[in-house]
Amino acid sequence: MNEFLEIEENIVRMLKTVFDPEIPVNIYDLGLIYKIDLASDGQLNIDMTLTAPNCPAVDFIVEDVRMKVGSVDGVKSVEVNIVFEPAWDKDMMSEEAQLELGFL
């Protein structure tokens, strides 16, 4: 497998270990990750949103993302950008997440 794809898979794997403390589903399956952009120099930019603009756990979640994806081999630095466009909606969740939260 291409090394770049392997790094991206490991990033996604780590994102799936990050949870909003109020929701029992990881942020990746919740659909909160909008963009994962890994440059060839190891600079990682992640655009993500929150389930609500006034989420009290934002600092905790962002720091957890930084620490976990920053530990992936090949990632040299991490920038997490919180964005609200497009607005998050429950339809962005994976089928597994919708099932877990009782939406299916």
**Domain that includes residue 55, residue range:** 3-89
What SS3 state is found at 60?
A: helix
Residue 65 maps to which CATH number? Answer: 3.30.300.130
pLDDT at 55: 87
Does residue 11 carry a pLDDT above 80? yes
The conformation of residue 84, written as its DSSP 8-state character, comes to -
Number of domains in the chain: 1
Do the domain assignments include residue 96? Answer: no
pLDDT in tens, 84-98: 999 999 999 999 999
- Confidence band for 22, pLDDT divided at 50, 70 and 90: confident
pLDDT at 47: 98
Does residue 39 carry a pLDDT above 60? yes
pLDDT at 72: 97
Do the domain assignments include residue 94? Answer: no
Alpha helices in 1-104 (DSSP H): 3-15, 58-70, 95-100
The residue-averaged pLDDT of 36-61 equals 94
Q: Which residue has the tokens 């939406």?
A: 103
Do the domain assignments include residue 104? Answer: no
What SS3 state is found at 85?
A: coil
